A and B are shown apart, each in its own frame.
Chain A
Amino acid sequence: KTQVEQSPQSLVVRQGENCVLQCNYSVTPDNHLRWFKQDTGKGLVSLTVLVDQKDKTSNGRYSATLDKDAKHSTLHITATLLDDTATYICVVGDRGSALGRLHFGAGTQLIVIP
């Protein structure tokens, strides 16, 4: 059973618009949650890491929230650019060390159009 569910599966927005990507998970324990950006044909690049029970992070136009009680995270992208076109992947770590497992979502494909 998939332990990390992302929604929507795909999303099309116009350049300049804001968007919100969702991640729900059932991983236990949930030590931390990461958001990655994957450009087509490329590897994953880390955007942010959330650790606390109720956490918020900000990285330029990207901001993220985590609520461990609800097992839910959001990734907000403000004023989208064409270069934001990519797949965004939510990953939950079940321990704080390399011995822990990372549980990957299937990703949300974001397409930004002019």
Chain B
Amino acid sequence: DMKVTQMPRYLIKRMGENVLLECGQDMSHETMYWYRQDPGLGLQLIYISYDVDSNSEGDIPKGYRVSRKKREHFSLILDSAKTNQTSVYFCASSFRQGSAETLYFGSGTRLTVL
């Protein structure tokens, strides 16, 4: 069963603390993404990874960094979290076969920064 797994599901941190959000996929997909979802807004791309150690900034990378040392794992790191980083974070992976690309999303991590 194809799956994108995010850990943890819920996280509460204080402002200034470091945050690590983890994402794993069991499909050997090359491309992975980190998005955040805020009320009334569409998902916003934070970072995209094309493969191990091949990462690119998305539309809102400020305050975040990522790490991809293995194809199946993609981590999102917040160094010194801020209250405006309270959000739901989604990881996704994609697979291309011919002209068709399929996206798989994790269930999200709800981060609250106090």
Name A residues whose Cβ lies closer than 8 Å to a Cβ of B.
2, 4, 34, 36, 41-46, 49, 51, 89, 91, 96-98, 101-107
Contact = CB atoms under 8 A, between A and B. Distances in A.
19 contacts: A4-B42, A34-B103, A41-B108, A42-B108, A43-B105, A45-B105, A46-B103, A49-B100, A89-B42, A91-B42, A97-B101, A98-B31, A98-B96, A101-B59, A103-B42, A104-B43, A104-B44, A106-B41, A107-B42
Chain B, interface SS category: strand
A102 B107 contact: no
A103 B43 CA distance: 8
B40 to A, nearest CB: 6
Q: Which of B40, B94, B105 has the most CB of A within 10 A?
A: B105
B76 to A, nearest CB: 15
Interface residues of B, number: 26
Interface of B: 4, 30-31, 35, 40-45, 48, 50, 59, 90, 92, 94, 96, 99-103, 105-108
Given A2-B42, A107-B42, 9 more contacts: A43-B92, A43-B105, A43-B108, A44-B43, A44-B90, A49-B100, A89-B43, A91-B42, A97-B96
B99 A96 contact: yes
Given A43-B90, A97-B96, A98-B94, A104 B105 contact: no
A39 B37 CA distance: 14
Contacts of A4: 42
